[in-house]
Structure 1
Amino acid sequence: MKPDHEVVIVGAGFSGLCVGIRLRRAGMRDFVILDAAPGVGGVWHHNTYPGVAVDIPSATYCYSFEPNPRWSRAFAPGAEVRAYAEHCADKYRLRPHLRLNTRVEGAGFDETADLWRVRTSAGEVTARFLVCAVGPLDQPRDPDIPGLDGFAGKVVHTARWDHGHDLTGERVAVIGTGASGLQVIPEIAGRAARLHVYQRTPIWVFPKVDFAVPRGVRRAFGLFPPLQRLVRLVTTAASEVVMVLGIVHYSKVPFLVRAAEAVCRAHLRRQVPDRALRRRLTPSYGFGCKRPSFSNRYLPTFARDDVELVTDPIEKITPRGIVTADGAEREIDTLVLATGFRILEPGATPPFPVVGPGGVELGAFWDRERYQSYEGLAVPQMPNFWLMNGPYTVTGASWFSIIEAGTTHIVRCLAEARRRRAVRVVVRQGPHDAFTADMRRRMKGTILGQPSCAGSRSYYFDRHGDSPYVRPQSGFHVWRRSRTFDLDDYAYTPGGRS
């Protein structure tokens, strides 16, 4: 049976766009990119809350082959990131391949025809190969708090912001003080009549060296792209030093983590004079156990008279407000959920049911047998399938470096399948098991393997106590492996029979 397409890509964020770009460059034009949203950009299409911006330097936040000289600030606002995604879709002629407003509801492997049957809101699509390029920050998580559904006021999640709702003069509560909360809380303060921030776990906050990029610098980047590539290399290297040397190789250089903590504590002291308030904003877990961030506005917000930091546990939500464990009820008009995303759990990784040979559903398999993969992309149970941003993917390098490495791996496999006229490609059990065992062994020497992470409540960890969100290797190693892994780590079956 001839499938509708050679490749189906699920997700039109930067991962899916990169796969499409690389496929076109490799001469593979028979592919479609499916996405439930009406536009490209993935998490940047959905996240439009006030203050949304990248939390790494802008120079690092772009494809290496498509530097963006138009960033207006050192930390680009979300609208510019969305515009960059649209620009890439246009420049690399991906529009004819896009199928937007098309939600993928599930996928099953047809063992007789050696192809994937992808169920969508617009009907079934078949493909020889399936690439799930839905990013990890895709499915908003609502907190498991009694009474949430019965709240009579307005409820809005940061990942699905309602721009038609005006917070001016309202009593507002924000639940969550992670990366999204850190950005949106200063924007709400001053507009709301009263703001209550419910904090379960404090966040490590670096000073943010943010500034408007001078027009002359942007012009120089546009005229001489190697200059911007140099800046990208420098900012990426800085990220590697902190995130890889300090966190991944913590057991060898623990002083780097201590130095990062010292910088964050000094920043907190400068911005929050009140000692008691400072104690409540100081993390009790080690730096790197949970995603840190940058801000110059977040910490001072809690010194405002119209802002209250609430650290008592939430007991329930009533139709009128929030009740904490001390019995106090704070009445509010709007509830903002800055509670992040579902990541390492069934229904999130992967984000839809993926059923392979023998009826094995990937999410259920991982939940039962622990998260595992080959190079963060493939598993023996799923032929002709790759999952971008799978277990053991994220390292300290630029997110775009991670995307490009994964795409290089996948396109190499697809090119080899063409060369061998294979209709079934699947990673062998031995290389898969060796990679997974190596990742788990290396993880023991990272900050994530230390007792200091016990109270972090980080999405890096799953219910088994593993931390498969992170790949304990350098970005350079991941880049090199994507270009040098043994193609015979996969089995190739020609002729439609396994």
Structure 2
Amino acid sequence: MTELDVAIVGAGFAGLGLGIRLKRQGVSSFLIFERANAVGGTWRDNTYPGVACDVPSHLYSWSFRPNPRWSSFFSGGAEIRDYLEAGANEEGLGDHLRLGTDVQAMTWDDPRSRWELRTSRGTFTARTLVLACGRLTEPRIPDVPGLDTFHGPMFHAARWDHDAELSGKRVAVVGSGASAIQLVPRLAEVARELVVLQRSAPYVIPRDEHQYTEDEQEHFAHDPERMARLRSTLFWTAEEAFAQRAGVPEAVEAARHRALDHLATQVPDLGLRAKLTPHYEIGCKRVLISSEYYPALTRPTVSVEASALAAVTGNTLVTANGAEHDVDAVVFATGFHAAQQPYARIVRGVGGELLAQHWAGGMTAYASTVVSGFPNLFVVNGPNAGLGHNSAIYMIETQLDYILGALDHLEADPDLVLDVTRQAEDEYTALIDELAATTVWMTGGCESWYRDGRTGRLTLLWPGYAHTFREHNGTFSMDPFSLSPSTPSRLTTT
């Protein structure tokens, strides 16, 4: 049995980022477990045509590893994957990676104060366990009758079948979210017929793309401060969008008009425009960025069915409104099991409690990172640690700072066990609910993957500005881990 100081599960932005920070600090007793055979997380898994990020490149990257050679304002998926692979290689993480290793169970051993990890490559113990598993890992396929009767390619966008021949075929895309608006324009170029099954119309705003010239890249390379200033400008510009999510009337109206003007400009046909007009408030669901999606839908070979998939009979797709579409291939762009994380079913804390049981009413964690009853466990990009308006990497780095602060305390006291009090977690959760109550995610009249379907709670997003998340959750404190009752400081969104 191999003994470690730190076990990290997941080799995406969070897991690799923590590994790099540990390596730079001289920590050697850590491993990063990854079930796939390569690093990269969601950017390894998603290889569909048109895959790209909708956060500016210089903001969607580690602050401690700036990249002067981004090719464009918004990076493509392959370029982001290359960035992550380069980070792992250049920072010397090779010996710390356990690729192709499926973690099958994670159990807290109370007598030894250690986590035991049972994996496909043996058993490991670790004083500290960090779940950096991501939230967009398990594709969601609609549970409709008859899927097994379909003859032809049928797959999720996140598991793209590169052997499937879609050129000249009748293709259906089920879904109209972030993946769909990127792949639909590419499929429209090759498919004989393309139908998009749209359960609800998204808000879409223009994608103001810019290709960085060699001169610009050289300037970034020779002037790191220039990159830092750009990153800061991009961050604070993105922060302005939270006013709309918070329900500030002027901000909501401006955002709505921008999206609807974009729709009107690109879709002159009134019937199609009506199908593509959302019937909820902007920001309630993810606001999408594309200047190609609407033009693709106006092609004569493309149609939009404003209804959800209800059944499959052979190669006929039946929608909830009774329409039928005969197709040769189906691509599901239907999102992921994000609110109920699969890893929660294999993590057992004090007394054998499953993390999934602890989260039966929706994911919770103090400081969005530590869970009562699960000592020396840290969750990155988990409960209320996402954003609907800014960069996820900023949030991840904030949590890494918190974890590194906790590891400093553990290193200073070999007998220390960090188990946050239930009171602290409950009070933090109550405050999250209070702050979320007036946001557009709760009042905008939609169903979204940001909320837990069992309770309706907002469990994926931080209901505030990104910088307030760092102010309140970026520095580790022993206070909520003390034996006496502790009260976390009150959060604000201003």
| TM-score strictly above 0.5 | yes
Q: Is the 8 A contact 1:377 1:387 kept in 2?
A: yes
User: 1:383-398 counterparts in 2 under 5 A?
Assistant: 383-395=375-387, 396-398=389-391
Q: Tell me by how many angstroms 1:326 deviates.
A: 4.6
Q: Is the 8 A contact 1:134 1:351 kept in 2?
A: no
Q: Tell me by how many angstroms 1:162 deviates.
A: 1.3
- 4+ runs of 1 displaced by more than 4 Å? none
Q: Structure 1 residue 44 and structure 2 residue 11: aligned?
A: no
In structure 1, what residue type is equivalent to 2:289?
F
Partner SS state of residue 264, structure 2: helix
Determine the structure 2 residue equivalent to 1:374.
366
Q: Is the 8 A contact 2:136 2:336 kept in 1?
A: yes
Determine the structure 2 residue equivalent to 1:245.
243
Q: Which of residues 279, 294, 298 is equivalent to 2:293?
A: 298
Deviations 1:83-136 (A, max 9, x none): 000111122211110000111122111112111111212222211111000111
Q: Tell me by how many angstroms 1:351 deviates.
A: 5.1
Q: Structure 1 residue 410 and structure 2 residue 408: aligned?
A: no
Determine the structure 2 residue equivalent to 1:449.
442
| Distance in 2 separating the partners of 1:392 and 1:383 | 20
Q: Structure 1 residue 134 and structure 2 residue 125: aligned?
A: no
Deviations 1:373-420 (A, max 9, x none): 101111111011111112111134321111100111111111101112
Q: Tell me by how many angstroms 1:258 deviates.
A: 1.6
Q: Structure 1 residue 277 and structure 2 residue 276: aligned?
A: no
Q: Which of residues 252, 256, 260 is equivalent to 1:257?
A: 252
| Unpaired runs of at least 5, structure 2 | 484-494
Distance 1:97 1:235, change over 3 A: same
Q: Is the 8 A contact 2:200 2:307 kept in 1?
A: no
User: 1:477-496 counterparts in 2 under 5 A?
Assistant: 477-491=468-482
Deviations 1:252-310 (A, max 9, x none): x2221221111000000010001111111111111111111110100111111101101
Determine the structure 1 residue equivalent to 2:172.
173
| Distance in 2 separating the partners of 1:265 and 1:115 | 54
Q: Tell me by how many angstroms 1:371 deviates.
A: 2.6
Determine the structure 1 residue equivalent to 2:55.
56
Determine the structure 2 residue equivalent to 1:471.
462
Q: Is the 8 A contact 1:5 1:127 kept in 2?
A: yes
| Distance in 2 separating the partners of 1:42 and 1:434 | 32
Determine the structure 1 residue equivalent to 2:491.
none
**Percent sequence identity over aligned pairs:** 37
Distance 1:475 1:327, change over 3 A: closer
Partner SS state of residue 66, structure 1: coil
| Distance in 2 separating the partners of 1:411 and 1:444 | 32
Number of positions where the alignment pairs a residue of Structure 1 with one of Structure 2: 482
| Distance in 1 separating the partners of 2:256 and 2:322 | 34
Determine the structure 2 residue equivalent to 1:163.
162
The normalised TM-score by structure 2 is: 0.94
In structure 2, what residue type is equivalent to 1:439?
I
Partner SS state of residue 194, structure 2: strand
Deviations 1:425-484 (A, max 9, x none): 11122322221121111111211231x33x344443432010111111221122223444
Q: Is the 8 A contact 1:51 1:184 kept in 2?
A: yes
In structure 1, what residue type is equivalent to 2:38?
G
Q: Tell me by how many angstroms 1:338 deviates.
A: 0.5
Distance 1:93 1:481, change over 3 A: farther
In structure 2, what residue type is equivalent to 1:104?
V
Partner SS state of residue 240, structure 2: helix
| Unpaired runs of at least 5, structure 1 | 493-498
| Distance in 1 separating the partners of 2:392 and 2:449 | 19
In structure 2, what residue type is equivalent to 1:390?
G
Q: Tell me by how many angstroms 1:352 deviates.
A: 4.6
Determine the structure 2 residue equivalent to 1:495.
none
Q: Structure 1 residue 66 and structure 2 residue 65: aligned?
A: yes
